[in-house]
Structure 1
Amino acid sequence: MQPRRRYPSDLSDARWELIRPTLQSWRNARAGIRRPTHDLRDLMEAILYVDRTGIPWRYLPHDFPPHQTVYGYFAKWEADGIFDQLTGLLCRLVREHEGRNAHPSACLLDSQSVKTSANIHLTNQGFDPAKKIAGRKRHVVTDTLGLLLAVLVTSAAVHDSTAGTHLLDHIATHHPRVSKAWADSGYKNAVIEHAATRGIDLEVVHRTPGSRTFTVQPRRWVIERTLGWLMHHRRLARDYETHPHRSAAMIHIAAIDLMSRRLTHEATPNWRDT
């Protein structure tokens, strides 16, 4: 059988070796259900293709496994926390590669409101009055290198402080070394006080008084840059996922793509490269 043509979103051998052990362990744990018929690398590359290009699942090129199979694996891996595991693993590897402690001691919080597609039920949407966007909101936590630590997708009507409280609980549980955090003025006193109860000093970074143009905010520019990196993946340009947890999985997949490239020194191709 002739090997399929490679796509720019495909994994190099070096990047696949970073991801393969986690996926293989998952498959081994499920051994005995039935003999697998599809290669794990082909399945992962199909998911990366959807995330990078933004196409609907059923528009997957025919040289990938059937779109029903690819989506089925995507749903199983999301439900079993595989994307969360890979994000955490790659984050630790990148930090060690750059001479940092594998476990961060500081983090940044921010949110991004995005419009949703027509297949999203109205009960899963909301209106963000600050950004004047009807849709969903992505609440993100990164370390000081801009690496993804946690993500929560909600209705756009959910206030930053409400989601921030849940994210700080997650950070305190899964990243106990974190003792410092930065956020913008959308995070109110309630979340600052809650952070203190979890042993985290949350500092609000305010805009420069009197500034009417774009200015780089101290510390916060790191997470703003991460949001820009994520948007290279066209599936994130708008929220197309029926369920919020699947939307969060798409963000994890984009982070996996970015961090694996960072470890192997491979650039993320975009329109500027043409």
Structure 2
Amino acid sequence: MASQPPRKPYPSDLSDARWALIEPTLTAWRAERQKTSLNLGGKVSDLREVLNAILYVNRTGIPWRYLPHDFPAHATVFSHFSAWTLDSTIEQLGLRLHRLVREKEGCNSAPTACVIDSQSVKTAHTVPTSSQGIDAGKKIVGRKRSIVTDTLGLLLLVMVTAAGVSDNEAGKQLLTRTAAAHPTITKAWVDIGYKNQAVEHGATLGIDVDVVPRNTQVKGFSVLPRRWVVERSFGWIMMHRRLARDYETKPEHSESMIRLAAISNLTKRATDAPRPGETHKTQPLTN
């Protein structure tokens, strides 16, 4: 039987250069899984096509069941997404690419400073009410995304909670995780939502937390020192339609979708491909 011709590529597909950065991690994952499975000879999925399908969902915002038929079956794609979330494969891939990009841009692989911020978003009807809340300040019913980036705006940590969780509480949890995962970080910049509790908690961890207030002399949007990089990171994230609101049943799946958006950006940086919103290569940022 003649083999099927390759499908036409989608804009969200990984190029050969970008796939080359990811392939070792997923191949190692498959080898490890095969050691612990019965390996009864079931159909082996093309991992590149599975990841392309996940990136397609992330970029376009479609439900899993609406995946085009030239991708692997939606159940197969979702099962890989769930497995890669559960065993932290997506998280570890993001951190490996993060180190690679920092080195490429002339920075130490281990950051010494970070920026923390949050974003509240509405949720879809499929999201359990038990994982939602109300952000009284922004008058949003849904979930809150709290992220930590380095000074280049590259994602280090993400935590998705009910929108009612205060920035102070989320900040304390993120600072604890930052100190454990990135012990070289000794400085953090935050906005005024992270008040005394987060600042004091950071001090106990050896992290100097500096609150950057808004410029009261300027009405509307203004670029704030240090904090602008994390605001830009949220802008990158929101270019992925799946993240325009929270569609995921589980908060950890929401975190993975955010990490995948960051991974897409990282692979483009690493291979000098245009980044989200760009049509040409920009100059690298300095640390």
TM-score, normalising length from structure 2? Answer: 0.93
Q: Work out the CA distance in 1 between the residues paired with 2:221 and 2:54.
A: 35
Partner of 1:167: 174
Separation in 2, partners of 1:140, 1:108 = 8
1:62-120 C-alpha deviation (Å, 9 max, x unpaired): 00000000000000000010111111001100000001000000000000000000111
Structure 1 residue 56 corresponds to structure 2 residue 63: yes
CA drift at 1:272: 8.6
Equivalent residue for 2:227? 220
- Does residue 83 in structure 1 map to residue 90 in structure 2? yes
Aligned residue for 1:238?
Answer: 245
Residues 271/102 of structure 1: CA separation in 2 closer, same or farther (3 Å cut): closer
Matches of 1:271 and 1:121 in 2, distance apart?
Answer: 36
Secondary structure of the residue that 2:210 maps to in structure 1? strand
Identity of aligned residues (%): 55
- 1:26 matches 2:24: no
1:210 Cα shift? 3.5
Question: In the TM superposition, what whole-angstrom CA distance separates every residue of 1:146-181 from its partner, at most 9, and x where no partner exists?
Answer: 000000000000001101111111110110000000
Query: Is residue 57–residue 63 contact of structure 2 (8 Å, CA) maintained in 1?
Result: yes
Q: Deviations for 1:180-199, whole angstroms, at most 9, x for unmatched residues?
A: 00000000101100000000
Change (3 A) 1:116 1:48: same
In 2: Cα distance, 1:146 partner to 1:262 partner: 12
Partners of 1:269 and 1:128 in 2: CA distance: 28
Closer/same/farther in 2, CA of residues 176 and 209 from structure 1, 3 Å limit? same
- TM-score, length of structure 1 as denominator length: 0.97
Whether the 8 Å contact between 2:187 and 2:208 is mirrored in structure 1 is yes
> CA-to-partner distance for each residue in 1:39-62, whole Å, 9 max, x for gaps?
110111000000011000000000
Contact 1:8 1:269 (C-alpha < 8 Å) held by counterparts: no
Q: What's the RMSD between the two structures over aligned residues?
A: 1.4
Correspondence list, 1:114-153, <5 A: 114-153=121-160
1:240-273 per-residue CA deviation (whole Å, 9 max, x = no partner) reads 0001111001000000001101111111465999
Letter in 1 for 2:34: A
Question: Match of 1:152, SS?
Answer: strand
2:29 match: secondary structure:
helix
Deviations 1:202-221 (A, max 9, x none): 00000113432211111100
